[in-house]
Amino acid sequence: MRPAAARAAESLGAIVRAEARAARAAAARIPQPMAADEAYMALALDEARQAAEAGEVPIGAVVVHAPIDRATRRPLAEPAVIARAHNLRETTQSPSAHAEFLALEEAARALGAWRLPDCTVYVTLEPCIMCAGLMHQARVRRCVFGAPDPKAGACGTLYAIHGDERLNHRFEVVPGVGREESQRLLREFFAARRKGAPAAVKGAAGGSTRAPGARGEAEGEGVDRP
């Protein structure tokens, strides 16, 4: 008969191997970061098209909540979109009605909390100072954006609010996801505006969306927010 110590060691080894297999299986079910980022950015781009339909500069945003265990860094639940919004500055005549600002406010209402440490913000244009500051205040985990904004970008282009070590919170920034489509929507929107054409921003299916009345001007790879 085998010693009890040997049997216990073998049993422990089997448990460890089973846990490792379970961890690998769980990891396989989690989308790869870039693929997931592209999928969520596609939703933000849908919001940008809705903005164009409303005569707003085509910028959209979504907020994804992915809670994790702080000790183990393991996910506690599947990631979920808890907020989505697009520019409504002209519609509401509110200076704060940028897509990501509205989405963050909706996310806070959804979670019943102003701190959003388990959230990632996806936005089609690099956040401005106001919106990057709000992300800092909300303690977000990440911001993923599409097109850089050379005239107002505050997440790496003109300023780097997300990484400023003088502040009491920093967050990860991933630029360039969905960049080409984000820029295309902006270019076509402002080209239509310059020509006075009411329908010029093409949707994903080849249709067109209305683009009257927005303020701002596309230039290079960025845009002046209205």
Q: What integer pLDDT is reported at residue 73 of this predicted model?
A: 86
Q: pTM for the full model?
A: 0.76
Q: At what angle do helices 33-53 and 99-111 cross, to 10 degrees?
A: 110
Q: What integer pLDDT is reported at residue 126 of this predicted model?
A: 98
More confident residue, 20 or 188: 188
**Residue 204 confidence (pLDDT) above 70:** no
DSSP 28-68: HHSPPHHHHHHHHHHHHHHHHHHHHHTTS---EEEEEE--B
Best CA proximity match to 44, nearest among 144, 149, 152 = 144
Q: What integer pLDDT is reported at residue 35 of this predicted model?
A: 85
Q: What integer pLDDT is reported at residue 25 of this predicted model?
A: 52
Neighbouring-strand partners of residue 144: 122, 174
136 residue type, one letter = H
Mean pLDDT across 194-199? 70
Q: What integer pLDDT is reported at residue 29 of this predicted model?
A: 47
Q: Which stretch of DSSP H or E encloses residue 198?
A: none
Q: Catalytic: 38? A: no
Task: Give the 3-state secondary structure of residue 195.
Answer: helix
Between the CA of residue 75 and those of 23, 37, 79, 192, 207, what are the distances in Å? 11, 17, 9, 45, 39
Q: Which pLDDT band, with edges at 50, 70 and 90, does 4 fall under?
A: low
Give CA–CA dist 197/57, Å, rounded: 15
Active-site residue, from 100, 105, 126, 188:
100
Reported as a single tens digit per residue, the pLDDT across 102-145 is 999 999 999 999 999 999 999 999 999 999 999 999 999 999 99
Mean pLDDT across 151-156? 97
Q: Which stretch of DSSP H or E encloses residue 144?
A: strand 142-147
Q: What integer pLDDT is reported at residue 110 of this predicted model?
A: 98
Reported as a single tens digit per residue, the pLDDT across 47-96 is 999 999 999 999 999 999 999 988 898 989 999 999 999 999 999 999 99
